[in-house]
Structure 1
């Protein structure tokens, strides 16, 4: 009886078992991949003409509608006539690492991926890698063949089809000029498919990252790029987006005003084989705050290429240019070294013109003697040639310099993307930190090269000198950029500019102070003068002394791009809540301080003083669960959790 029962059970189970194995095999061969939690999915499709497309869903809701894929090469066409040659098995990959500069220091994410090989009419192969994780999906192209010949891509069909009822925050990609493209324009609130508008300079497309509010404004998606190691130009989105179809576009041949780049008839991507191209990244968020905290871009970037990173230290720096742009005297550089020493900053930045002030190594030696690490400015063309770059890095390191701010790249051409990787590598050999200005956006590079501390590529506080619209727009922009630019990598916004400039500031002083803790940057370069620093209340001075330049843990409490942002930030035993208002109206908020202030007895709040533009009001209260507060128009606040009433 026992054997008969077992045999009958096996017979009953067999159809189910066969179905299970059939489904597993079908999933392996299917042209899609799902994240481990089954929520995010990217699906590839071929139509009757052999044209390739994809779509992206989350919880079966479409985030990216059917969108074209394909490459048109100089001698090969992968835009039509394609067929499936092979589908790899599903693989599971774990990305577990730590970042020197981060919202959240430790990352541990699991991905599922597969590779699908397509064959064109001539039998040539193109691989599309697809990957899905809990924060989104991505894909990239690969040519697997080997050979000595150079392959050129004349057109990339890749596009992102955003539903026309979606709204977005997008930055115009400026046409090549003396200081462009540099990703220093406003993020504009658009409807999907809108033409370019609101740009500071003539523009030829839209930048990535691009943020969209989809599915009847219920969800969010960020389009970005990762893993460009110099094998491809930096890409943006084409200006014609009719129907909400945003097509990938290459850097332009005239992006060469600041660098010794050759004139070319075209600047198509080109490489010998095999050829691995950058990831096209689609970050998915049920809430906007999910986008802000995503590490998908660094998850997809190569792991650190620096074995010993113990010498790499995030920190804060004083610098003189913002408050004294025309003063290049030794006295002014030394004055700001003293500011760094007084506030316990690790670094001081000697900006443009420092070489003349450094006669006999004077300003560098003075900084070093006071325990302050000098950073110096340089022009991009000095670092473009391989030999000159290596010699210059070696010379600077020998002088006691600890990092270099390299300015005026203003190009996304493939040669520049490759040079930037060499800059990080050559600097690392001399234990030098890198800060890029007048540059393209980062693409997860701070994981691969942890000595890459920060980059501009942001409309920062220098705009009070140059941009008449900046004072009115700055608060709103400050609530958009953490969801866009700062997701791509560390951002050198140069915060805390209280002195009035050509275009007077409208944000409150508390808002400006909060910006130092809203943006993530491996080195925070504080703007403004010694006089402003000296005039600050003791509590604000102490905040600047204690404030970290990177974080162990970050959570969002309020996350509304263009309106308001409130973050919980923690580093070691330090705990803060930081908020800013991007609107001209007072915003009421209610927070559970007990949740974020565990282990502390009180909280200190730094907010607007009687003179909101220049002053602070500072008070200490017991921690309560239900805390009501009204964020001032264009205002901000910082809460410090403390264990005394001081």
Structure 2
């Protein structure tokens, strides 16, 4: 009889009983169960399947895997409910409310332990692996993480190709079964790229099930770990995690006690709930910077778009080769197209001061730009030596007198070893000259050679640069770095990222009109993007006759992007002389803030349209933005988010009836109305168009005299 009981207990531990966890509101339900010693989980929303039975675990290098042979060694449950205030953000206060279940698994043959910690929120799931300190598992190398996400059928996805070096691709909307057939076409050229496989895609991945569930797969708190991709079994419709390998093919070097990043599944039957989810931020640690008073949102202009279009040059001279410490730049003859010269930068500073912008980004100020591109060159820049025509001290004083800060630019050319070699000196140079923010770039193949932009080693470099910057009270806007995973909660000096196909591609052949209706559902799930909107001249040849690119947008939609593409770092990217031609439309860019107390999604469907309303931090003013795809649509919104009984002055910047992103992009109209929370709008959105609305609280009734009511 004793032996029978023992056998039953062993079988129960191997097969397990389902452990259930529900979200605080009861709509989300997680089931965890051991099946033949394999850990599995399922997720349901309102009794609809979100993730079918999926396995968990790891393949390890040169030792037994952590996939099977487990028994449950303990289950701990808890509830957490607390609100916190971000240094900057889309909301003044964020609620972090979840139910948690930590399942300790013991591999019976090896006596190794692994904890799977689940946190179930009202808007989805976060889970991660934890490896406690133990005798039989201390140092180990990950061959592959084997986390599965089994989809509820052949559902719709908005995806970009899996790539270990870049996310700068256009999105495709297809069924999962169609990914393989389109992958070759989807992989368009980039300066640095390494495709991850014929059915491998990147996160954040946006999906929609046939029964109307919106599902988003991503990760949070990517620290000391390789970036995750998702490899699809297109017969079974199961995604499996695929980590970015390092130069020798390994996926991760671990030392217990340690954890993986969180794997996230955001789900709702409303598209707008995906955009408003704070799961990614909530799964990161609280802010580690004690004094955050120096971290401030920034609206800026910059010496940038004129180089992107080819009108001007980053390089000082047209010579085939330069070497720092060898080349005497003062003896070179300038090419006459170098944009970062003292007189020209002063023009941008004057423009910024006139219209109330916080900063001026200057690219191409430092020596070394002549021959770095595509050369896999180690010692390219020293980040402290200006070109002969860029007077650091004079411009520092000129900007300070105008109340404008200059934003530093560090292009690493992918040589992270060289950047770390100079980092302390470069940051101290910034402090000494009053630069409080830096745009860093990682264009090209990574050095050390063989590494990629998303491997564990390089992810650790990005984190090192952010933390080192915090020591110097410097804000970081990292371009070409790994896509964000909410780390800005812990280190809010990470004020921006690129890590996607941004506005610069409008000068390289164009983004599709639906691009900005997808990015908030994908790239922005992990954190804000420095998308650099505000392009008013769609015909790039007006700046550079040799560049025949076209910016696929109307002017009205460019205004909307300041609301729909959230970032505490927003650029007015076009040239000052262009803005001066359209000062009535430019006024919205002048007025729109970059920090918010509240955000609401009024309309949303990925790939089609998004309409946001946001409340300016510290005021009662609201701003509305709508971005539209290539189909003409009518947007219908209510202003019921306004306080009852209060009148507002609404300034509406919208597409004209004959506007079109291809043949009439500059056709816009500006109208003013007196509105209340009972007001409603029906606004035409042109193909590739949209609208923007400023809603200013009317403190003085006289200011509304003569303006029609809506």
Q: TM-score normalised to the size of structure 1?
A: 0.87
Report the CA distance shift for 1:95/1:237 in structure 2 as closer, same or farther (over 3 A). farther
Equivalent residues of 1:241, 1:247 under 8 A apart: no
Structure 1 residue 511: Cα displacement:
0.9
Alpha-carbon displacement from aligned partner over 1:242-276 (angstroms, at most 9, x marks no partner):
422111111133xxxxxxxxxx4223211221111
Aligned residue in 2 for 1:544: 589
Aligned residue in 2 for 1:203: 195
Q: 1:107 aligns with which of 94, 117, 122?
A: 94
How many Å separate the matches in 2 of 1:603 and 1:464?
31
Q: 1:630 aligns with which of 684, 691, 695?
A: 684
Aligned residue in 2 for 1:331: 343
Structure 1 residue 370: Cα displacement:
1.4
Aligned residue in 1 for 2:447: none
Instruction: Write the mapping of 1:398-437 to structure 2, written as runs, cut at 5 A.
Output: 398-408=432-442, 411-437=453-479
Q: Does 1:365 align with 2:397?
A: yes
How many Å separate the matches in 2 of 1:360 and 1:602?
43
Give SS of 2:162's match. strand
Alpha-carbon displacement from aligned partner over 1:161-218 (angstroms, at most 9, x marks no partner):
112231011121235xxxxx2211112102124325323247323111001102x241
Aligned residue in 2 for 1:261: none
Report the CA distance shift for 1:360/1:386 in structure 2 as closer, same or farther (over 3 A). closer
Q: Does 1:297 align with 2:314?
A: no
How many Å separate the matches in 2 of 1:359 and 1:576?
39
Report the CA distance shift for 1:543/1:52 in structure 2 as closer, same or farther (over 3 A). same
Give SS of 1:203's match. coil
**Which 4+ stretches in 1 moved above 4 angstroms?**
146-149, 381-387, 609-612
Give SS of 1:304's match. coil
Structure 1: runs of 5 or more not aligned: 1-27, 176-180, 254-263
Aligned residue in 2 for 1:618: 670
Aligned residue in 2 for 1:127: 115
Aligned residue in 2 for 1:534: 580
Q: Number of matched residues? A: 594
How many Å separate the matches in 1 of 2:591 and 2:80?
38
How many Å separate the matches in 1 of 2:497 and 2:420?
21
Equivalent residues of 2:27, 2:122 under 8 A apart: yes
Aligned residue in 2 for 1:62: 49
Instruction: Write the mapping of 1:429-508 to structure 2, written as runs, cut at 5 A.
Output: 429-467=471-509, 470-471=510-511, 473=512, 475-499=513-537, 500-501=539-540, 502-508=548-554
Equivalent residues of 2:45, 2:268 under 8 A apart: no
Give SS of 1:229's match. coil
Equivalent residues of 1:192, 1:243 under 8 A apart: no
Give SS of 2:41's match. strand
Aligned residue in 2 for 1:213: 208
Q: 2:240 aligns with which of 244, 247, 254?
A: 247
How many Å separate the matches in 2 of 1:52 and 1:594?
47
Report the CA distance shift for 1:95/1:452 in structure 2 as closer, same or farther (over 3 A). farther
Q: Does 1:353 align with 2:365?
A: yes
How many Å separate the matches in 1 of 2:691 and 2:187?
31
Aligned residue in 2 for 1:376: 408
Q: 1:185 aligns with which of 169, 174, 198?
A: 169
Structure 1 residue 505: Cα displacement:
2.1
Aligned residue in 1 for 2:446: none
Alpha-carbon displacement from aligned partner over 1:205-240 (angstroms, at most 9, x marks no partner):
3111001102x241111101001222x111111265
Equivalent residues of 1:42, 1:57 under 8 A apart: yes
Structure 2: runs of 5 or more not aligned: 1-15, 314-338, 367-385, 444-451, 541-547
Q: Does 1:396 align with 2:430?
A: yes
Give SS of 1:105's match. coil
Structure 1 residue 145: Cα displacement:
1.9
How many Å separate the matches in 1 of 2:529 and 2:497?
5
Q: 1:562 aligns with which of 600, 603, 607?
A: 607
Equivalent residues of 2:214, 2:270 under 8 A apart: yes
Q: Does 1:224 align with 2:276?
A: no
Structure 1 residue 535: Cα displacement:
1.6
Aligned residue in 1 for 2:371: none
Q: Does 1:98 align with 2:132?
A: no
Give SS of 2:515's match. helix
Q: TM-score normalised to the size of structure 2?
A: 0.80
How many Å separate the matches in 2 of 1:173 and 1:361?
45
Report the CA distance shift for 1:594/1:31 in structure 2 as closer, same or farther (over 3 A). closer
Alpha-carbon displacement from aligned partner over 1:360-381 (angstroms, at most 9, x marks no partner):
5233332222111111111235
Q: Does 1:582 align with 2:629?
A: yes
Report the CA distance shift for 1:360/1:199 in structure 2 as closer, same or farther (over 3 A). closer
How many Å separate the matches in 2 of 1:526 and 1:128?
45
